Amino acid sequence: MKGQGTVRGILVTGNDGHEYLLGFTPGQPIPTPVLSRRQSDGRFEPVADVQEASRLAVRQLGFGGGLIGPGTGPHAFLWSAFTAALKALPVPPSWPTWRP
């Protein structure tokens, strides 16, 4: 059976109490990460400036960026935020295996 839904991102509550959505925008050659903040009307509004989105990821979500330098690209902090968010998810239960 194949899933019918589409994963839109990872929902995280920031240190300021706001909800943030780590998602992706379609891009070439690969999708790029985007950080959106929930507005008072319930919509998620993308943070357009990549540097501001990176600062928010560090300050509000507590995700550090690791090493930066030549070749890391403008989305390094957002990529590391995804990595940290995925590591924070609980481990799925493992099913017992039987051997004949």
Give residue 89's identity as a one-letter amino acid code: L
Within a domain: 5: no
| Segment (H or E) for 62 | none
Please check whether residue 66 lies inside any domain of the structure: yes
Q: Quote the pLDDT of residue 47.
A: 93
| Any domain includes 19 | yes
Which range marks the domain in which residue 77 is found?
10-86
Residue 95 falls within a domain, yes or no? no
Q: Is residue 92 part of a domain?
A: no
65 lies in a domain?
A: yes
Domains contained in the chain, number: 1
pLDDT of residue 19: 93
> Does the residue 94 lie in any domain?
no
Evaluate if residue 8 carries a pLDDT over 80.
no
- Whether 55 is covered by a domain: the verdict is yes
Burial of 6 (0-12, 13-18, 19+ CB in 10 A): exposed
Other C-beta atoms within 10 Å of 67: how many? 7
Q: Indicate if the pLDDT at residue 55 is higher than 60.
A: yes
pLDDT by residue (tens digit) across 25-50? 877 677 888 999 999 999 999 998 98
